[in-house]
Amino acid sequence: MSGGAMYDDSSYEDASDALLSLATRAAGLAGGPVTIEDDASELITYSPGQENSDDARIATILSRRVPDRYRTLLRTEHLDERLAGSSGPFYADLRGAGILPRAIMPIRAGDTAIGSIWAIVPSSPSPEQRAALEESAALLAPLLARQAERRLAADARRTAAVRALLRGGDEAVETARELPLGPGPLAVVAVRPLPSAPAPGTGSYEGPYDGRYDVAYGIPYDGPYYGPCAGQGGPPGDPLRRALADLDRRLSAFQPGGLSAEIDRVGYAVVPVGDEQRLLRAVGELPGAAAGVGRTVPGPGRLGRSRADAELVVRLLSRLGTTRERTAHIRDVQLDALLMRTVDLAVEAGHDPLGALAELEAYDRRRGTALLDSVDRYLAAGEDARLAARQLHVHPNTLRYRLRRAQEITGLDLSDPGAAFDIRLRLRMRALRLP
């Protein structure tokens, strides 16, 4: 099967024209410019013309989704809740936030919210405008539902292809022949939300969520934009979905021809690589997510190695949280990644990687002291007690007392270079322990 047949998007063309026509018609009936969004605030299409517009509409069109700053406002104003619970249009006066008023109409397929119409209007909609919005939503619903079904089918095929590529070997080589994917060099990027990212389901999604879904991106579309659709059971507002969509947009601009998908709650992108530094810059810092870049491999048959690298990096960055950069290449974090694997093995075997320092950590916890942190700062300062004391905001004699107590408790000699190296290594492993 050729790549063109596998990812033929021509089936969207009729829907694209119909949706654009309906958006234009809805704008005329409502008396103001219209945007049509899916249930994850991704832009589907919009009516032509920017008259009577505002920054929120323009930013949504340019980014092809509602920017995060406006999504936050929607939650603050409880508009997401109103959308989830409404079957008819309602009015939102947001002029206090610098946004023109909107008439908002949910689009539903049965009991499930699948999108919404946002029309800029000067005042609460008249009965005629309400009827026009309800009619528009009824006409849009089957088109959005069919488009979502076709998109889900295409996404499922892409997800299966990405799974095969990530396994590497002959299967990846054969799969690559059927894709619009360069023969190499290639690399894998893995993405995972950081623990501080918003919880899944912060949008208006009301369908089931069982923690399993695969969403694929990676094929640019021409014409009015159709936001990506969630796969099996996935809430459209999920931070991983949004991070992966953001990554895909960046990578498409960096190097066309890649593929990305969400698999087992991790986002993956297989990317042609010409320049690794450019790739890292393209990935950049994804809001609320960590991104790991695996080694560049000569062809699809060795993508399994790049995937293992990317997964290791993203696990490391997720564990470190905000204590370091959120995007890294495997070569830049190899030592920490090796230490993390050592820590995991030690924990699995029932050992504490801190060794004798575990006793000092327990002492601090019981007494409310800071002996272990004082040892850490002293060694990090090159064993300069005055410098370390200034950094700790204590007198040098106080620090020296803490160091003596630490040596008494652990039996470790800080003046021994071998012992000092062992302590520093274990202190680094301390940051990489499982929570």
Block means of pLDDT (10 residues each) for the chain, length 435 residues? 36 64 88 87 84 84 83 82 86 87 90 88 90 91 85 86 93 88 85 63 30 27 28 49 82 81 91 86 82 93 94 88 78 88 86 86 92 91 92 93 92 88 87 67
DSSP class of residue 352 equals -
* Residues 413 and 419 sit within 8 Å (Cβ to Cβ): yes
The C-alpha atoms of residue 265 and residue 241 are separated, in whole angstroms, by 9
pTM of the model: 0.64
Instruction: Give the per-residue pLDDT at 5.
Output: 33
289-293/327-329 β-pairing = parallel
Concatenating the DSSP letter of every residue in 184-253 gives S-EEEEEEEE-TTSPPS--SS--S---S----EE-----SS-------TT--TT-HHHHHHHHHHHHHHH
Instruction: Give the per-residue pLDDT at 221.
Output: 27
SS3 342: helix
Q: Residue 45 forms beta bridges with which residues?
A: 36
The C-alpha atoms of residue 136 and residue 32 are separated, in whole angstroms, by 14
Instruction: Give the per-residue pLDDT at 196.
Output: 54
Q: How many residues would you count in the chain?
A: 435
Residue 92 φ/ψ, nearest 5 degrees: -130, 115
Instruction: Give the per-residue pLDDT at 284.
Output: 82
Instruction: Give the per-residue pLDDT at 216.
Output: 28
Residue 329 φ/ψ, nearest 5 degrees: -95, 150
